[in-house]
């Protein structure tokens, strides 16, 4: 089992550990609330339970708790728990268990329907007479003894699951939907059985009510189970993208090898029309690869030697030989699947209200039912009407819709995001993205291609071009910044060997320093190198800055050797993305460590009115905090190490997928495709998901607020109450499933 360690909180002596548990036995939101409560009672534990995914995630202090304690706590509460390993075998077993449960439900629903239909046939005259609310019109075609014979198997054989679930819940000190169903239907059956056995012909019997409620609830569970399988279809689809076998070079020949047997650095071959097995780098060959399942982009990407390719993508029209760089859980596809699974199992802040209500819902409903019985029995309606109304209250109040309202929408929303190349880390990020009012964007690699090239090398008098590039490339050897790579590539193109440098040190957002031939050397922004004691011999840099180019000064031993001009092309999609953000009423500000001239040119091309140049990494984070201090929900988009502080400071942060690992680690949402439009897609998808959550919660709360009083007042009989209850759960899940067809409103269908 893999236990994930997390950095310790302030004052903590040991790092927190995390474990995921599979849960069995939950029937409604009250069950989830109960399990969450007992887990959080264990010292040193913070747990969250997801009703829709039937999982629990617990972070615990290993000095105060352990996995056995957590599992035992769940078992004492009347449910079953097991550690999730998220292996292929476990996923297959889980799928088999779900299919078996569906088969059992189908069987039970079929038997219950056959036994219940004759009982319900007696109710047809009531509806035909338009007097279905009147108890006096309760016709009986079947002998009461036969009704008892038909209803009893439905009540105690088909309905045994409700008694088992109710017993486990009550034994654990809680109450759930099973308690409501078992109590309500048993009351209806027991009353009718007593009337039948003792020959009380003047009293009506309600065998059809209990049997119909059980049948309808089971039917609702069957349809609900089928629908919930659909909510995780995107994740299941991701996991099935990789082929089971791959052609690997071994012993001088290519042989078919199982996926699990492939190691990093092995050489593989993929032919036209085949799926790529693992992440890798192309060694030879040229082809186009369909990466739409990862990025959401329908246009195939050309792959040549040196290009990165990813597991699960499809090679279209050429043969490629490549070297494996990521296998198993280290592939991008596996990382996406993990992020989606974690997001689907997390909770959004908007769900807290529903959780609080679910925790006390069942006891309150039982109290209302008892009160309904007492008040109605004491009125002119009598004991029979009191019983019917009390049963209807218990049946109508099933909190399934309340428990499904939020998690189903989150599951579908995050799954759809994965299909569009938007990886949402958790439900909190999903909710915050939908509330964004301001967005801060980095320039290099975010608005621009992130691949600047050297356009000008202007040496000082007496210095050669080659000397400037030699020193600059030597200093930049220790940096991964895009400008540094551009300098190194320029030197390589001109066959210039970089100077041997020692003691490399980066100055984030400013430049780099090193020692060459025991002399201090600097490469960086002009104000940085000048501030270190160097002087610019002429105004050669001014024209470069006026053209919007980045300018690096190169010094050796305090003497300026020359300046290097670099240009980074703005992405062809950036201006469109900024226009979409403005249409979504989000204020955009560009922050960059580059000079004002370059910043102005890029901002104008992208259509951004607000920008700041020469911004240090700490200043980016300060700008984010300043906006948040004004009560503005603020996002940050970046791709580099220097963006990490600002990404961490934002309410919700977006990392360009082609960016640095630390930026991706600090971000709440990772964009697989390097396109600012993906940020807009993420925000609009978040808003659509939030809208579904609000619709679901409104319906779930409104349903109970309206239905319980109607049942208490006698306007809903138990049979109709059961049908309405089942329909409410299905409507919530069905509404969430509509997100599977969501697409950005001004983007082509993918």
Residues annotated as catalytic (active site), given as ranges: 442
Residue 715, helix vs strand vs coil:
coil
Rounded Cα distance, 678 and 672, in Å:
8
Strand 438-442 relative to strand 587-591, pairing: parallel
Pull the structure tokens for residue 370. 């008892």
Phi then psi for residue 227, to 5 deg, are: -70, -40
Phi then psi for residue 133, to 5 deg, are: -80, -20
Rounded Cα distance, 239 and 275, in Å:
13
Identify the DSSP state of 570: B
503 Ramachandran zone, left/alpha/beta (phi>0; psi -120 to 50)? left
Residue 284, helix vs strand vs coil:
strand
Pinpoint the alpha helices (H) of 290-351. 292-295, 332-344
Phi then psi for residue 399, to 5 deg, are: -85, 25
Rounded Cα distance, 399 and 385, in Å:
24
Pull the structure tokens for residue 170. 């009550």
Rounded Cα distance, 356 and 439, in Å:
33
Rounded Cα distance, 364 and 666, in Å:
43
Nearest to 693 by CA among 437, 435, 436, 342: 435
Cβ atoms 278, 268 nearer than 8 A: yes
Identify the DSSP state of 274: P
Helix (H) or strand (E) holding 6: strand 4-6
Residues 6+ apart with CB under 8 A from 537: 460, 461, 560
Strand 652-656 relative to strand 320-326, pairing: unpaired
Cβ atoms 615, 509 nearer than 8 A: yes
CB-based burial label for 45 (10 Å; 0-12, 13-18, 19+): buried
Strand residues in 559-643 grouped as ranges (E): 559-567, 587-591, 610-612, 634-638
What does the buried/exposed string (b/e) look like for 521-557 if buried means 16 or more CB atoms within 10 Å of the residue's CB? Answer: bbbbbbebbbebebeebeebbeebbeebbbbbbbbbe
Cβ atoms 303, 286 nearer than 8 A: yes
Q: CA dist 304 to 254, 272, 282, 283, 440, Å?
A: 21, 14, 6, 8, 34
Residues 6+ apart with CB under 8 A from 540: 458, 563
Give the DSSP per-residue string, 475-541.
HHTT--SHHHHHHHHHHHHTTPPPPPEEEEEEETTTEEEEEETTEEEEEEEHHHHHHTT---SSSHH
Rounded Cα distance, 507 and 283, in Å:
35
Rounded Cα distance, 104 and 492, in Å:
68
Phi then psi for residue 558, to 5 deg, are: 85, 0
Rounded Cα distance, 404 and 301, in Å:
40
């Amino acid at each position: 089992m893999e236990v994930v360690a997390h950095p310790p909180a302030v004052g903590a002596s040991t790092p927190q550990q995390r474990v995921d548990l599979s849960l069995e036995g939950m029937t409604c939101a009250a069950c989830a609330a109960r399990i969450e409560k007992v887990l959080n009672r264990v010292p040193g534990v913070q747990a969250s339970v997801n009703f829709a995914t039937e999982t629990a995630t617990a972070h615990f202090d290993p000095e105060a708790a352990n996995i056995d304690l957590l599992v035992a706590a769940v078992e004492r509460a009347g449910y079953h728990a097991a550690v999730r390993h998220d292996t292929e075998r476990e996923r297959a077993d889980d799928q088999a268990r779900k299919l078996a449960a569906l088969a059992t439900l189908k069987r039970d629903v079929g038997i219950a329907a056959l036994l219940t239909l004759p009982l319900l046939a007696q109710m047809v005259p009531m509806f035909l007479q338009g007097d279905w609310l009147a108890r006096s019109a309760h016709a009986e075609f079947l002998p009461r003894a036969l009704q008892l014979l038909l209803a009893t198997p439905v009540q105690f054989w088909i309905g045994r699951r409700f008694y088992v679930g109710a017993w486990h819940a009550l034994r654990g000190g809680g109450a759930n939907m099973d308690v409501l169903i078992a109590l309500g239907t048993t009351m209806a059956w027991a009353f009718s059985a007593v009337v039948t056995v003792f020959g009380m012909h003047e009293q009506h019997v309600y065998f059809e009510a209990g049997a119909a409620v059980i049948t309808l609830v089971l039917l609702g569970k069957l349809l609900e189970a089928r629908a919930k399988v659909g909510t995780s279809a995107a994740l299941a689809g991701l996991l099935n993208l990789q082929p089971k076998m791959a052609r690997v070079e071994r012993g001088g020949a290519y042989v078919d090898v199982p996926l699990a047997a492939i190691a990093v650095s092995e050489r593989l071959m993929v032919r036209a029309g085949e799926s790529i097995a693992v992440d890798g780098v192309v060694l030879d060959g040229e082809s186009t690869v369909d990466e739409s399942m990862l990025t959401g982009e329908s246009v195939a990407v050309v792959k040549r030697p040196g290009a990165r390719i990813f597991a699960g993508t499809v090679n279209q029209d050429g043969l490629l030989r490549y070297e494996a760089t990521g296998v198993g859980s280290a592939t991008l596809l596996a990382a996406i699947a993990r992020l989606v699974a974690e997001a689907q199992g997390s909770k959004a802040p908007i769900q807290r209200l529903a959780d609080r209500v679910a925790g006390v819902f069942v006891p309150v409903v039982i109290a209302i039912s008892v009160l309904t019985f007492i008040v109605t029995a004491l009125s002119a309606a009598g004991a029979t009407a009191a019983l019917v109304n009390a049963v209807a209250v218990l049946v109508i109040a099933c909190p399934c819709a309340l428990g499904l309202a939020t998690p189903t929408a989150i599951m579908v929303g995050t799954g759809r995001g994965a299909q569009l190349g938007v990886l949402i880390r958790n439900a909190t990020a999903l909710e915050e993205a939908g509330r964004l009012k301001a967005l801060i964007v980095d320039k290099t690699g975010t608005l621009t291609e992130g691949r600047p090239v050297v356009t000008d090398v202007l040496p000082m008098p007496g210095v050669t071009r080659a000397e400037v590039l030699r020193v600059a490339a030597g200093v930049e050897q220790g940096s991964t910044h895009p400008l540094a790579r551009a300098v190194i590539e320029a030197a390589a193109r001109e066959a210039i060997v970089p100077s041997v440098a020692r003691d490399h040190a980066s100055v984030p957002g400013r430049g780099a320093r090193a020692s060459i031939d025991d002399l201090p050397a600097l490469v960086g922004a002009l104000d940085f190198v000048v501030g270190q004691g160097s002087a610019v011999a002429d105004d050669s840099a001014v024209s470069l800055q006026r053209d919007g180019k980045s300018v690096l000064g190169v010094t050796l031993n305090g003497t300026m050797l020359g300046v290097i001009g670099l240009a980074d092309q703005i992405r062809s999609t950036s201006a469109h993305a900024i226009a979409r953000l403005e249409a979504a009423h989000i204020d955009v500000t560009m922050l960059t460590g580059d000079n004002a001239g370059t910043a102005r040119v890029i901002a104008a091309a992208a259509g951004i009115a607000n920008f700041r140049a020469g911004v240090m990494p700490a200043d980016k984070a300060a700008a984010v905090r300043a906006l948040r201090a004004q009560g503005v929900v603020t996002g940050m988009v970046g791709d580099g190490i220097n963006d990490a502080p600002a990404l961490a400071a934002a309410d919700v942060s977006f990392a360009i997928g082609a960016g640095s690992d630390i930026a991706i680690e600090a971000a709440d949402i990772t964009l697989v495709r390097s396109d600012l439009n993906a940020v807009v897609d993420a925000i609009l998808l978040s808003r659509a998901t939030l809208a579904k959550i609000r619709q679901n919660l409104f319906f779930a709360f409104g349903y109970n607020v309206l239905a319980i009083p109607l049942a208490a007042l006698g306007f809903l009989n138990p049979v109709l109450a059961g049908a309405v209850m089942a329909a409410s759960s299905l409507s919530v899940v069905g509404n969430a499933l509509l997100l599977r067809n969501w697409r950005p409103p001004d983007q082509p269908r993918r």
